[in-house]
Amino acid sequence: MARTPSTMRTLGSAAPDFTLPEPLSGRQVGLADFSGQPLLVLFTCNHCPFVLHILDELVRVLNHAQAQGLAVVAINANDVVRYPDDAPDQMAQLAQQRGFAFPYLFDESQAVAQAYQAACTPDFFLYDAAHRLVYRGQFDDARPGNGVPVTGADLRPAIEAVLAGRAPAAEQRPSLGCNIKWKPGHEPL
Count the neighbouring beta carbons within 10 Å of the beta carbon of residue 21: 16
Beta-bridge partners for 138: none
User: pLDDT (tens digit, 9 = 90+) per residue, 81-115?
Assistant: 999 999 999 999 999 999 999 999 999 999 999 99
Residue 129 has pLDDT above 60, yes or no: yes
pLDDT surpasses 90 at 186? no
Beta carbons of 179 and 119 less than 8 angstroms apart: yes
Closest by Cα among 80, 66, 61, 76 to 142: 61
Asked, as a colleague might, if the bond just before 122 is cis with ω within 30 of 0, I would say yes
Write down the pLDDT at residue 189.
64
pLDDT of amino acid 89: 95
The pLDDT assigned to 3 comes to: 66
pTM of the model: 0.95
The letter for the amino acid at 90 is: Q
Question: Which residues, 6+ apart, have CB-to-CB distance to 6 below 8 Å?
Answer: 118, 119, 120, 123, 124, 136, 137, 138, 174, 175, 176
Q: Is 176 or 31 the better-scoring residue by pLDDT?
A: 31
The per-residue b/e assignment along 90-125, b for 16 or more CB within 10 angstroms, e otherwise, is bbbebbeeeebebbbbbbbebebbbebbbbbbbbbb
Alpha-carbon dihedral angle through residues 130, 54, 92, 79, given to the nearest 10 degrees? 80
The stretch 14-23 carries a mean pLDDT of 97
pLDDT at res. 2: 56
Nearest to 48 by CA among 188, 176, 187: 176
Domains of the chain, CATH where assigned: 4-179 (3.40.30.10)
Q: Does residue 7 sit in helix, strand or coil?
A: coil
* Alpha-carbon span 60 to 185, nearest angstrom: 36
Give mean pLDDT, residues 152-180: 94
